[in-house]
Amino acid sequence: MNPGARLVLLGRQGSGKGTQCTRLSRHYVVPHISTGDILRAAVRDGTEFGKRAQEIMDAGNLVSDDVMVGILDERLDRDDTRGRGFILDGFPRTVAQAEALDRMTTPRGIDVAINLDLPRDEALHRLLARLVCADCGTNYSTAAPPRYGMTCDNCGGDVVHREDDTEGAIIRRLDLYEEETAPLISWFEGRGMLEVIDANGHPDEVTARLITAIDRRRGA
Protein backbone atom coordinates (compact mmCIF):
# COMPACT_ATOMS: atom_id res chain seq x y z
CA MET A 1 0.00 0.00 0.00
CA ASN A 2 1.19 3.54 -0.72
CA PRO A 3 2.08 5.38 2.47
CA GLY A 4 -0.17 8.27 3.45
CA ALA A 5 -3.34 9.29 1.66
CA ARG A 6 -3.84 12.10 -0.84
CA LEU A 7 -7.47 13.05 -0.90
CA VAL A 8 -9.75 15.81 -2.19
CA LEU A 9 -13.16 16.17 -0.53
CA LEU A 10 -15.99 17.95 -2.28
CA GLY A 11 -19.45 18.32 -0.79
CA ARG A 12 -22.26 20.80 -0.28
CA GLN A 13 -22.51 22.81 2.91
CA GLY A 14 -24.44 20.56 5.28
CA SER A 15 -23.08 17.31 3.81
CA GLY A 16 -20.96 16.67 6.91
CA LYS A 17 -17.72 17.32 5.02
CA GLY A 18 -15.99 19.06 7.97
CA THR A 19 -16.86 16.23 10.38
CA GLN A 20 -15.73 13.57 7.92
CA CYS A 21 -12.49 15.41 7.08
CA THR A 22 -11.60 15.45 10.80
CA ARG A 23 -12.29 11.71 11.10
CA LEU A 24 -10.37 10.83 7.92
CA SER A 25 -7.45 12.97 9.00
CA ARG A 26 -7.22 10.92 12.24
CA HIS A 27 -7.73 7.60 10.48
CA TYR A 28 -5.03 8.15 7.84
CA VAL A 29 -2.86 10.37 10.09
CA VAL A 30 -2.61 13.11 7.46
CA PRO A 31 -3.17 16.86 7.81
CA HIS A 32 -6.63 18.25 7.08
CA ILE A 33 -5.94 21.30 4.91
CA SER A 34 -8.92 23.65 4.75
CA THR A 35 -8.27 26.69 2.56
CA GLY A 36 -11.20 28.46 4.27
CA ASP A 37 -9.45 27.96 7.65
CA ILE A 38 -6.13 29.22 6.24
CA LEU A 39 -7.86 32.39 4.98
CA ARG A 40 -9.76 32.89 8.26
CA ALA A 41 -6.45 32.59 10.16
CA ALA A 42 -4.97 35.33 7.93
CA VAL A 43 -8.04 37.50 8.65
CA ARG A 44 -7.56 36.99 12.42
CA ASP A 45 -3.85 37.87 12.14
CA GLY A 46 -4.87 41.19 10.57
CA THR A 47 -2.23 41.06 7.80
CA GLU A 48 -2.69 43.17 4.65
CA PHE A 49 -3.49 39.97 2.81
CA GLY A 50 -5.98 39.01 5.55
CA LYS A 51 -7.80 42.34 5.14
CA ARG A 52 -8.15 41.84 1.38
CA ALA A 53 -9.25 38.22 1.89
CA GLN A 54 -11.91 39.31 4.37
CA GLU A 55 -13.46 41.75 1.89
CA ILE A 56 -13.62 39.03 -0.75
CA MET A 57 -15.05 36.44 1.64
CA ASP A 58 -17.62 38.86 3.08
CA ALA A 59 -18.84 39.64 -0.43
CA GLY A 60 -19.28 35.90 -1.03
CA ASN A 61 -16.68 35.90 -3.82
CA LEU A 62 -13.68 33.66 -4.48
CA VAL A 63 -10.07 34.62 -3.78
CA SER A 64 -8.13 34.63 -7.08
CA ASP A 65 -6.75 31.36 -8.43
CA ASP A 66 -3.16 32.72 -8.45
CA VAL A 67 -3.27 33.57 -4.76
CA MET A 68 -4.93 30.29 -3.74
CA VAL A 69 -2.56 28.17 -5.82
CA GLY A 70 0.40 30.00 -4.21
CA ILE A 71 -0.97 29.29 -0.72
CA LEU A 72 -1.53 25.62 -1.48
CA ASP A 73 1.81 25.17 -3.21
CA GLU A 74 3.55 26.43 -0.08
CA ARG A 75 1.41 24.20 2.19
CA LEU A 76 1.96 21.06 0.11
CA ASP A 77 5.71 21.65 0.27
CA ARG A 78 5.89 21.22 4.07
CA ASP A 79 7.35 18.05 5.59
CA ASP A 80 4.07 16.63 6.94
CA THR A 81 2.28 16.73 3.59
CA ARG A 82 5.29 15.63 1.58
CA GLY A 83 5.92 12.72 3.93
CA ARG A 84 2.40 11.58 4.76
CA GLY A 85 -0.17 13.12 2.45
CA PHE A 86 -3.18 15.41 2.84
CA ILE A 87 -6.93 15.86 2.84
CA LEU A 88 -7.92 18.95 0.89
CA ASP A 89 -11.10 20.69 1.98
CA GLY A 90 -12.20 23.74 -0.05
CA PHE A 91 -9.53 23.32 -2.73
CA PRO A 92 -9.80 23.06 -5.69
CA ARG A 93 -12.75 25.39 -6.17
CA THR A 94 -12.30 26.04 -9.90
CA VAL A 95 -11.09 24.01 -12.89
CA ALA A 96 -7.95 26.21 -13.06
CA GLN A 97 -7.18 25.23 -9.43
CA ALA A 98 -7.75 21.54 -10.26
CA GLU A 99 -5.29 21.81 -13.14
CA ALA A 100 -2.75 23.52 -10.87
CA LEU A 101 -3.22 20.77 -8.25
CA ASP A 102 -2.54 18.19 -10.93
CA ARG A 103 0.75 19.93 -11.76
CA MET A 104 1.72 20.43 -8.09
CA THR A 105 1.18 16.77 -7.20
CA THR A 106 2.90 15.26 -10.26
CA PRO A 107 4.02 12.52 -10.64
CA ARG A 108 1.99 10.63 -8.00
CA GLY A 109 -1.14 12.80 -8.16
CA ILE A 110 -4.03 12.33 -5.74
CA ASP A 111 -5.59 8.99 -4.77
CA VAL A 112 -9.19 10.07 -5.28
CA ALA A 113 -11.57 13.05 -5.30
CA ILE A 114 -14.70 12.33 -3.30
CA ASN A 115 -18.04 13.96 -3.80
CA LEU A 116 -19.86 13.62 -0.47
CA ASP A 117 -23.30 13.64 -1.97
CA LEU A 118 -26.36 15.01 -0.22
CA PRO A 119 -29.47 16.15 -2.14
CA ARG A 120 -29.97 19.91 -2.03
CA ASP A 121 -33.30 19.69 -0.14
CA GLU A 122 -31.73 17.53 2.54
CA ALA A 123 -28.76 19.93 2.84
CA LEU A 124 -31.17 22.87 3.27
CA HIS A 125 -33.09 20.96 5.92
CA ARG A 126 -29.89 20.08 7.85
CA LEU A 127 -28.52 23.65 7.69
CA LEU A 128 -31.78 25.18 8.93
CA ALA A 129 -31.69 22.80 11.92
CA ARG A 130 -27.94 23.29 12.57
CA LEU A 131 -26.67 24.46 15.96
CA VAL A 132 -22.99 25.06 16.59
CA CYS A 133 -20.76 25.61 19.62
CA ALA A 134 -19.47 29.19 19.46
CA ASP A 135 -16.24 28.12 21.20
CA CYS A 136 -15.10 24.79 19.73
CA GLY A 137 -17.25 24.52 16.59
CA THR A 138 -18.89 21.18 17.47
CA ASN A 139 -22.05 20.75 15.39
CA TYR A 140 -25.47 19.85 16.82
CA SER A 141 -28.98 20.09 15.42
CA THR A 142 -32.40 20.88 16.78
CA ALA A 143 -33.13 17.13 16.36
CA ALA A 144 -29.93 16.14 18.24
CA PRO A 145 -29.17 19.05 20.61
CA PRO A 146 -26.53 19.07 23.40
CA ARG A 147 -27.40 16.99 26.48
CA TYR A 148 -27.81 19.96 28.87
CA GLY A 149 -29.70 22.88 27.33
CA MET A 150 -27.55 24.95 24.99
CA THR A 151 -24.22 24.05 26.65
CA CYS A 152 -21.66 22.21 24.52
CA ASP A 153 -21.10 18.54 25.55
CA ASN A 154 -17.52 18.84 24.37
CA CYS A 155 -16.24 22.07 25.96
CA GLY A 156 -19.08 23.70 27.96
CA GLY A 157 -19.28 26.62 25.49
CA ASP A 158 -22.50 28.30 24.30
CA VAL A 159 -24.33 26.45 21.54
CA VAL A 160 -26.00 28.85 19.10
CA HIS A 161 -27.84 29.07 15.80
CA ARG A 162 -25.31 30.66 13.39
CA GLU A 163 -26.34 34.16 12.27
CA ASP A 164 -25.64 33.32 8.62
CA ASP A 165 -27.82 30.19 8.77
CA THR A 166 -30.95 32.04 7.62
CA GLU A 167 -32.91 30.48 4.77
CA GLY A 168 -31.93 33.23 2.29
CA ALA A 169 -28.21 33.04 3.12
CA ILE A 170 -28.22 29.24 3.02
CA ILE A 171 -29.87 29.24 -0.42
CA ARG A 172 -27.26 31.75 -1.69
CA ARG A 173 -24.41 29.55 -0.42
CA LEU A 174 -25.93 26.40 -1.95
CA ASP A 175 -26.41 28.19 -5.31
CA LEU A 176 -22.78 29.34 -5.30
CA TYR A 177 -21.61 25.82 -4.49
CA GLU A 178 -23.58 24.49 -7.47
CA GLU A 179 -22.00 27.05 -9.80
CA GLU A 180 -18.47 26.45 -8.52
CA THR A 181 -18.47 22.73 -8.10
CA ALA A 182 -20.48 21.21 -10.94
CA PRO A 183 -17.63 21.80 -13.46
CA LEU A 184 -15.09 20.35 -11.00
CA ILE A 185 -17.10 17.18 -10.53
CA SER A 186 -17.13 16.67 -14.33
CA TRP A 187 -13.40 17.45 -14.46
CA PHE A 188 -12.50 14.73 -11.92
CA GLU A 189 -15.05 12.32 -13.38
CA GLY A 190 -13.64 12.71 -16.88
CA ARG A 191 -10.22 11.65 -15.53
CA GLY A 192 -11.58 8.60 -13.68
CA MET A 193 -10.64 10.19 -10.33
CA LEU A 194 -14.12 10.72 -8.84
CA GLU A 195 -15.88 8.62 -6.22
CA VAL A 196 -19.44 9.56 -5.16
CA ILE A 197 -20.31 8.71 -1.55
CA ASP A 198 -23.83 8.94 -0.12
CA ALA A 199 -23.80 11.43 2.79
CA ASN A 200 -27.14 10.22 4.19
CA GLY A 201 -27.20 8.23 7.41
CA HIS A 202 -25.34 8.20 10.71
CA PRO A 203 -21.86 9.85 10.57
CA ASP A 204 -20.27 6.48 11.52
CA GLU A 205 -21.88 4.80 8.50
CA VAL A 206 -20.68 7.60 6.21
CA THR A 207 -17.13 7.30 7.59
CA ALA A 208 -17.17 3.53 6.97
CA ARG A 209 -18.34 4.09 3.36
CA LEU A 210 -15.59 6.65 2.81
CA ILE A 211 -12.81 4.44 4.19
CA THR A 212 -13.96 1.46 2.11
CA ALA A 213 -13.95 3.52 -1.09
CA ILE A 214 -10.63 5.24 -0.32
CA ASP A 215 -8.87 1.98 0.57
CA ARG A 216 -10.18 0.36 -2.61
CA ARG A 217 -8.76 3.25 -4.65
CA ARG A 218 -5.44 3.10 -2.83
CA GLY A 219 -5.15 -0.64 -3.41
CA ALA A 220 -5.07 -1.34 0.31
Asked if 62 interacts with ligand AMP (CB under 6 A), we say yes
Q: Which is nearer to ligand AMP, 31 or 145 (CB)?
A: 31
Active site annotation includes 17: yes
Active site annotation includes 217: no
- 3-class DSSP assignment, residue 109: coil
From 52, 84, 130, 218, the catalytic residue: 130
Contact 90, 113 (CB under 8 A): no
Residue ranges in 89-108 that form contacts with ligand AMP under rule CB under 6 A: 90-91, 93, 97
Q: List the one residue out of 123, 70, 92 whose CA is nearest residue 193.
A: 92
Active site annotation includes 51: no
Side-chain-side CA neighbours of 109 within 13 Å: the count stands at 12
From 82, 162, 191, 216, the catalytic residue: 162
Pick from 27, 52, 56, 138 the residue near ligand AMP by CB under 6 A: 56
Q: List 198's β-bridge partners, or say none.
A: 117
Q: How far is the CB of 219 from ligand AMP (least distance, A)?
A: 29
Asked if 159 interacts with ligand AMP (CB under 6 A), we say no
- Which helix H or strand E contains 18, and what residues bound it? helix 17-28
Residue ranges in 36-55 that form contacts with ligand AMP under rule CB under 6 A: 36, 39
Active site annotation includes 147: no
Q: How far is the CB of 78 from ligand AMP (least distance, A)?
A: 18
Side-chain-side CA neighbours of 23 within 13 Å: the count stands at 14
Q: List 159's β-bridge partners, or say none.
A: 133
Edge-first strand order for the sheet with 130-133 is 139-141, 130-133, 159-160
What are the C-alpha distances in Å from 134 to residues 53, 75, 137, 144, 157? 22, 28, 6, 17, 7
From 17, 23, 75, 126, the catalytic residue: 17
Active site annotation includes 75: no
Asked if 132 interacts with ligand AMP (CB under 6 A), we say no
Q: Please give the DSSP secondary-structure letter assigned to residue 143.
A: S
Q: How far is the CB of 70 from ligand AMP (least distance, A)?
A: 11
Q: Which is nearer to ligand AMP, 72 or 214 (CB)?
A: 72
- The residue ranges that bind ligand AMP (CB under 6 A) are 35-36, 39, 56-57, 61-63, 68, 90-91, 93, 97
Query: Catalytic site residues?
Result: 17, 93, 130, 162, 173
